[in-house]
Copies of this chain bind each other. A is one copy, B any other.
Amino acid sequence: MSSHSPNIPCALCSSRKFSLFSDLPEAQICAISDHKNLISHRRGQILYYEGTKPLGIFCINSGVVKIYKTASNGKEQIIHLAQKGDFLGYAALLGEENYSNSSMIIEDAKICFVPKEVFINSLLQNSEFFRRVAKSLSHEIGVMEEKLTNATQKSIRERLAYVLLQLGNSYGVEGGGNQRIDLTLSREEIAGIVGTATESVIRLLSEFKKDNLIELEGKKIIIKDRRGLARLSDFYA
């Protein structure tokens, strides 16, 4: 399923500029580069499972990964979609806990694995790097607070509209005045992001289409009216 690719050095990595590694000094980049492992993954592959022990961190070079928890009712709550430049698993590592979530490739990906010791040593040798990692963790907490508040205080319609806008921001491709979400998600996965039933997503997408807010082309969603969605999402920005 997964395959090792030519191990391009971090110094030449095209996604590094998007990542926490972006300003690391030469020496540390080399140390990490020497110990990392670039692996190609196909859609559907699991990167790690909730409850298992983290042995290092993952750094996404390309592709998209969903981070999710499986609820007691069997449904997936998607916490986050991670892409190019994002780090995965460093919270579990720094928290000295097992993974609190699972992760699965949803768009073919190339991902580097950096062993725990190498990553931790980099942090300890470079407090500026440590600060950036802490900053990222802290930011994540604020994001989660926002998600929790939306989940409890907003309707499914509002949340779906908001999710579409966010997907547009992260994966949108402009064209003909519209914005095409260039990411293949099943209705069930969209439901997992919103935190609702698959049928509800299907119904609401039909409704949004009828109201000329979006266009549907199979699994692809094209946003036609961002303002309209923003109004619906109760999120004016």
Q: Does the CB pair A100–B133 fall under 8 Å?
A: no
The CA of A195 and the CA of B148, in the complex, are separated in Å by 9
The CA of A133 and the CA of B138, in the complex, are separated in Å by 11
Q: Does the CB pair A146–B195 fall under 8 Å?
A: no
The CA of A142 and the CA of B196, in the complex, are separated in Å by 21
**A79 at the B interface (CB under 8 A):** yes
Chain A: residues with Cβ within 8 Å of the partner, total of 46
Closest-CB distance, A198 to chain B (whole angstroms):
13
The CA of A72 and the CA of B232, in the complex, are separated in Å by 13
Which of the candidate stretches A1-9, A149-157, A216-224 sits at the interface with the other chain? A149-157
Q: Does the CB pair B96–A135 fall under 8 Å?
A: yes
Q: Report A198-228 CB contacts with B as 1/0, cut-off 8 Å.
A: 0000000000000000000000000000000
Q: Which residues of B contact A93 (CB under 8 A)?
A: 138
Q: Which residues of B contact A234 (CB under 8 A)?
A: 72
Count of identical protomers in the assembly: 2
Q: Does the CB pair B154–A151 fall under 8 Å?
A: no
The CA of A212 and the CA of B140, in the complex, are separated in Å by 40
Q: Does the CB pair B130–A95 fall under 8 Å?
A: no
**A91 at the B interface (CB under 8 A):** yes
The CA of A144 and the CA of B154, in the complex, are separated in Å by 18
Q: Which residues of B contact A96 (CB under 8 A)?
A: 135
The CA of A150 and the CA of B148, in the complex, are separated in Å by 10
**A131 at the B interface (CB under 8 A):** yes
Q: A71-B153, A94-B138, A137-B134 are in contact. Are A145 and B196 (CB under 8 A)?
A: no
Q: Does the CB pair A95–B141 fall under 8 Å?
A: yes
The CA of A151 and the CA of B79, in the complex, are separated in Å by 12
Q: Does the CB pair A138–B137 fall under 8 Å?
A: yes
Q: Which residues of B contact A145 (CB under 8 A)?
A: 69, 79, 100-101, 144
Extra inter-chain contacts (6) besides given A95-B141, A144-B147, CB under 8 Å: A69-B146, A69-B149, A90-B138, A127-B127, A137-B138, A152-B195
